[in-house]
Amino acid sequence: MSKRSYAHRCAQKAGKVRDYFTCQACGSKEYVEGHHILEHQFLGSAIADNIVTLCSKCHKEVHRGNIDIIKF
């Protein structure tokens, strides 16, 4: 995996701060990560509005296709 840009790291942190470091799928506060709503490789911007905070378990489930993320 390539090294993430400064803008990307800032967006990830801003998204987690906005979400109070709480998984937006299950409410867990353990092992939270930022997930791109529109994936980076599909031109998803490195901005906080494109990040949702997920715990590592829910993040894996999103990538497995078991949880859908929808932005309103």
- Asked if residue 72 is part of any domain, the answer here is no
- Asked if residue 69 is part of any domain, the answer here is no
CA distance 32 to 2: 21
- Asked if residue 71 is part of any domain, the answer here is no
DSSP string, 37-58: SS-GGGT--SSGGGEEEEEHHH
pLDDT value for 43: 61
Is the sign of the CA dihedral 19, 25, 26, 29 positive or negative?
negative
For 40-69, what is each residue's pLDDT tens digit? 666 668 899 999 999 999 999 999 999 999
Report pTM: 0.86
Domain housing 44 = 6-64
CA dist 56 to 6, 37, 59, Å?
A: 22, 15, 5
Provide the number of structural domains found in the chain. Answer: 1
Give 28 or 1, the one with higher predicted confidence. Answer: 28
- Asked if residue 31 is part of any domain, the answer here is yes
Confidence of residue 72 (pLDDT cuts 50, 70, 90): confident
